[in-house]
Amino acid sequence: MQITELRMLLVLSEEMNMRKASERLFVSQPALSQRLQSIEKAWGAKIFIRSQKGLTLTPAGEKIVTYAKDMVLREEKVREEISSLEGEVSGTLRLAVASIIGQHWLPKVLKTYVQRYPQAKISLITGWSSEIIKSLYEDNVHIGIVRGNLEWRGVKKHLLSDELYLVDTELRNAEELMTTERPFIQFRSDSTYYQEIQDWWHRKFQTSPKRTIVVDQIETCKQMAYNGIGYAILPSVALDENEPIYKVPLTDPEGKPIARDTWMLGYEAAFQLKQVQAFLEVVEDWSKEAERENGI
């Protein structure tokens, strides 16, 4: 199969819907259907079963799609190796990033990156740190950006530290948590975030919050706190500076601010690619600018 046909199968397997896949591929549904039939004929096997609910992969289709994914990744790697021999920054920068960093930190950095290197492409996935580590192990991405101090045997670069704050429209200090009836709004996470919060809470109060609301996303948690529904504990990277809300820093037994670390992970070979080195340069420039703004 041609590489365009392999990519077409990947889009179909991601969307599992002919209409959505045709929109992504900028082809008509009849044309896409005809090309799929030609591929299935060449393989001598049905790849997808169609129904009113969408597409379903057949057992043979699962193997063919896995093959397509492997071949597309190989093709990208060869292109990356070729582009690394030339002076121009091109190829695809593949990133897997913790959701909170993808929402609040990464957009500004990528804006600079695409302005400097318009020939480079970006592939981005966001999720929990465990999912990012999995993508790195499977060699699906060049760089993983994770929260918390996770074990990693490859290249590990510190990206940033951000402090944790008690955020609320009414509570002005942590001591008021003992008497308030307002709920504690938490967001789900698979990192060490929960443990850090629990350690701080039990060290300070030796008890649990009276009422708790758990939400899936940190942005939902933030908006509920900003709208006065309850209080939350959030990292500074997610907070807006000019919002009229109380922000009380969390401190350890020595009175030092409790902070969360963010790390860039990857393998040495990936860090030698020109598009990855270019990204690291943009990140370094961003760090210097942030230090200047903070007067460091």
Instruction: Please report whether residue 45 resides in a domain.
Output: yes
**Residue 22 maps to which CATH number?**
1.10.10.10
- Domain enclosing residue 63, as ranges: 1-85
Higher model confidence: residue 272 or residue 279? 279
Q: What percent of the chain has pLDDT over 90?
A: 56
Predicted confidence at residue 21, as pLDDT, reads: 92
Radius of gyration of the chain (CA): 23
Does residue 296 surpass a pLDDT of 60?
no
User: How much helix, strand and coil, in percent to the nearest 5, is found in the chain?
Assistant: 50, 25, 30
Predicted local distance difference test score (pLDDT) of residue 84: 65
Q: Do residues 149 and 261 make contact, with C-beta atoms less than 8 angstroms apart?
A: yes
What DSSP character marks residue 120? -
Query: What mean pLDDT is predicted for residues 181-197?
Result: 83
Whether residue 224 lies inside any domain: the answer is yes
Residues 6+ apart with CB under 8 A from 186: 194, 197, 212, 213, 214, 215, 221, 232, 233
Please tell me which residue, 240 or 102, carries the higher pLDDT value: 102
In this predicted structure, the answer to whether residue 291 has a pLDDT above a threshold of 90 is no
Q: What's the whole-model pTM score?
A: 0.70
| 259 DSSP β-pair partners | 163
Q: Is residue 231 assigned to a domain? A: yes
CA dist., res. 83 & res. 78, Å (int): 9
Tell me if 100 is assigned to some domain.
Answer: no
- Asked, for residue 138, whether it belongs to a domain, the answer is no
Count the domains in the chain.
2
CATH number for 199: 3.40.190.290
